[in-house]
Amino acid sequence: MVVRKKQKKMSEDEKYCIRRVSSLVGDISQIDDRLYLGSYEQGAKFFQALKDRKITHILTVGNNMPPEFPEDFEYRFVPVYDSETEKIIEYWPATGRFIYNTLISSPKNVVFVHCYAGVSRSSSTIMAYYIEYRSKSLPTAYEIVRRQRPWIRPNRGFINQLKEYSLLLNPDFYDEEQINKYLRAARILRHLFLDRKFPNNKDKTDYIIKIFSEIFGEDNCFSTQIEQEINSNLIL
């Protein structure tokens, strides 16, 4: 018998963040030119938001999320739970192939990948696609997704499977120490995105530069990138 760990409940800050975004535009984040990531309630069930983005195909990564508009979009389903023990890696070859084949088969095709919250299962699945079909390292794949959707948080089991997938497919890019440094930095960025206590952007920028210098050393590219994000209001 498989014992599944209980899913962690979202904090009030996480709920606030998702409500704030989804109430304005529908919870759908554009990751690439024709690739989107989002949630179920405010994404996959938000018909007008899907149509506005010209989405044609929907990849559902999860359970108990039936297709809302089967006559309007083409659906694919991956029945996985957001559990650290779930072997989501077994589905990534198929999900990556679905995304890739859909995008190359027509310039009009647009893919929307979602789970329930658009935080763990679907974000991991898009990262796996970038690792396999775009030959990206895990930190690069994670950063591509995070910069467009700052509150993502794959669970630890999925992170370990992403490491395994990256090592299998792109061993020349695999650097365990650099991966762990990046993941620590990504966690900090997520907390900062959700933290509404900073009085102004300058305080947040100074804090980020200090933390990143401690993680990566004084000579690092992240501080400049994150400062640009803050100044552009990507981190609020």
pLDDT, tens only, 67-103: 999 999 999 999 999 999 999 999 999 999 999 999 9
Confidence (pLDDT) at 236: 39
Burial class (CB in 10 A: 0-12, 13-18, 19+), 99: buried
- Point out which residues pair with 32 in neighbouring strands: 35
- With tokens 């999900």, the residue in question is 95
pTM for the predicted model, two decimal places: 0.79
In sequence order, what are the residues at sequence separation of 6 or more whose Cβ sits closer than 8 angstroms to the Cβ of residue 210?
A: none
Confidence (pLDDT) at 208: 67
Catalytic residue from among 78, 115, 208, 230: 115
Rounded to whole angstroms, how far apart are CA atoms 50 and 114?
A: 12
Residue 60's SS3 state is strand
Annotated catalytic residue 115:
yes
What are the distances in angstroms from CA 122 to CA 38, 153, 228? 8, 10, 26
CATH architecture of the domain formed by 24-177? Alpha-Beta Complex (3.90)
Q: Find the DSSP H helices in the chain.
A: 12-25, 47-52, 92-105, 121-133, 138-148, 156-169, 176-194, 201-216, 222-231
Nearest residue to 32 via CA among 158, 120, 136, 115: 136
Q: What is the pLDDT along the chain (236 residues), one digit of tens a residue?
A: 444 544 555 565 555 555 544 444 468 999 999 999 999 988 999 999 999 999 999 999 999 999 999 999 999 999 999 999 999 999 999 999 999 999 999 999 999 999 999 999 999 999 999 999 999 999 889 989 988 888 899 999 999 999 999 999 999 889 898 888 888 888 877 777 776 555 555 666 676 667 666 666 655 555 556 555 555 544 43
Burial class (CB in 10 A: 0-12, 13-18, 19+), 84: middle
Following DSSP, what letter does each residue of 87-155 receive, concatenated? Answer: -GGGGHHHHHHHHHHHHHH-TT--EEEE-SSSSSHHHHHHHHHHHHHS---HHHHHHHHHHHSTT----
Q: Report helix angle 121-133 to 92-105, nearest 10.
A: 70
